Amino acid sequence: MMNVLKRLTTLSLVAGFTMLTACGGNASTGNVTAADGASTSPSADAAPTQNAPVTIEFWYGLGGKLGENMEALIQKFNASQQEVIVKGIAQADYTETEQKLQAAIATGKVPAAALSSNVDWARKGYFAPIDELMALQPDFNKEDFVQTFLNQGQVDGKQYFLPMYGTTQVMYYRKDTFEKNGIDASTLKTWEDLAAAAAKMTVKDGGKTTFFGWEPMWGSGNMIDAVLSKGGTILSEDGKQVMIDSKEWIETWDLFRKWIHEDKIMRIHSGGQGWEYWYKTIDDVMKGQSAGYTGSSGDQGDLDFSIVSAMEQPGWAGIGEGKPVAQALMAGILSKASDSEKEAAMKWLTYFTNAENTAFWSINTGYISVRQSALQDPAFVSFSESNPQIKVPLMQASHGSAPFQDPTGGKINDALTIAADQVQIENIPAAQALKEAQETAQAALDKLK
């Protein structure tokens, strides 16, 4: 499930509520009173020993099988050594993790690490740089990481975030529906091809669609991917002009609006709690109510590949292959964690991203491994031979686009989120929605000058 990543469901983060955590030393502020009445400081930074392991919290917004796989690796790590105990704390989704992190940062009671990355927060000092912590890990082998993913965790020349797994939005389709309609997935090279196939597979009864030819995922992500594949950009080359009302944007987004609201060959699920909309979309395909959908490489753990198969996102006629975003999902270590907690967190993140475990994560979730050596892991090699869909995200990522780094701290992305809802849900013409979004985003960008 994504990205960057699957969807920004909240436009402003909510602060002002207190959270109880069990994060070791940083959860206690002030001094501790000893039995003799003397005031002593808590020894959170004492070196971990076998008799006194450092307990840390790791927050992550994963549900379903993704959450189960995360908990399995946490338990495996805890059993593998006696220096660190990781307590996994699950939230509904990535957005909720960030909301709760903001509240925790305000109180000073933070987890040691979280599956979350925010460039603006790194610059404000909420996350700690991890270059020295990485250097302390034996056999870390920084060069073995997929460098495009590792580089996404750098802010102003320092490494603040470690890639945990990579993702890109791919296409999943029902094999029986494609076969019934005489459609060969390998021939769907363009969005025009896909729309024609979706129209052929759509079933209508009395003007009402009872079976949809395709389901894009709710949010701006899929439509941004399609724009990038058409040659559109979010900012001008000099970074001074917001370009989201250009011809490439308007034409592409209005096609999605037309497919959903006028042709009724596609639909989206929106709203609900956490990933509810995401799972409803998957269910439509798995239960035979839709021919296919656009979703995360990480959905593979929730899919039955005796029913569905996977293909890359298409490009556009006369332009070339698709260029969807390939993004790393990253974890950071909080600045307000104690030194011993930071070291413990780095040991956990290093363990999660070693070749064996990143290969395990890829096999069980469909997400992209972050280490090059994972591709030679015997389990991964064996799995990919009998499960070729695992290679689709890797092939697509090889010609993908880099994720957008919003210089305004999220205001451009927020404007795109509003515009996407207007197009996908409210049936507002793309030209109108994107013009309003461009004006809002440009005003935010201009304030940086």
The whole-number average pLDDT for the span 197-210 is: 96
- DSSP E strands in 290-379: the ranges are 292-296, 308-311, 326-333
CA distance 214 to 176: 14
The whole-number average pLDDT for the span 332-340 is: 98
Each residue's pLDDT tens digit, 357-407: 999 999 999 999 999 999 899 999 999 999 999 989 988 888 889 899 899
CA distance 214 to 291: 6
Query: What per-residue confidence (pLDDT) applies to 207?
Result: 86
- DSSP E strands in 235-307: the ranges are 292-296
Select 24-167+327-397's CATH number: 3.10.20.30, 3.40.50.620, 3.40.190.10, 3.40.50.300.
Answer: 3.40.190.10
Each residue's pLDDT tens digit, 312-330: 999 999 999 999 999 999 9
**Beta bridge pairs of residue 211:** 203
CA distance 179 to 205: 22
Q: What are the CA-CA distances from residue 147 to residues 138, 252, 314, 355 (Å)? A: 19, 31, 25, 15
Entry pTM? 0.74
Any idea which fold 168-324+404-446 has?
D-Maltodextrin-Binding Protein; domain 2 (3.40.190)
Nearest to 277 by CA among 216, 347, 321, 359: 216
Which comes out higher in pLDDT, residue 24 or 424?
A: 424
Question: Are 24-167+327-397 and 168-324+404-446 equal in CATH topology?
Answer: yes
Query: What per-residue confidence (pLDDT) applies to 199?
Result: 98
Q: Write the DSSP assignment of 401-445 as a string of letters.
A: BPPP--TTSSHHHHHHHHHHHHHHTS---HHHHHHHHHHHHHHHH
Measured in degrees and rounded to the nearest 5, phi and psi for residue 25 equal -60, -35
Residue 2 has pLDDT above 70, yes or no: no
User: Burial level of 80, CB count in 10 A (0-12/13-18/19+)?
Assistant: exposed
Query: What per-residue confidence (pLDDT) applies to 50?
Result: 53
Domain segments of the chain as ranges? 24-167+327-397, 168-324+404-446
178 — pLDDT class (breaks 50, 70, 90):
very high
Please report which helix (H) or strand (E) contains residue 98, including its range. helix 94-107
**Beta bridge pairs of residue 88:** 58
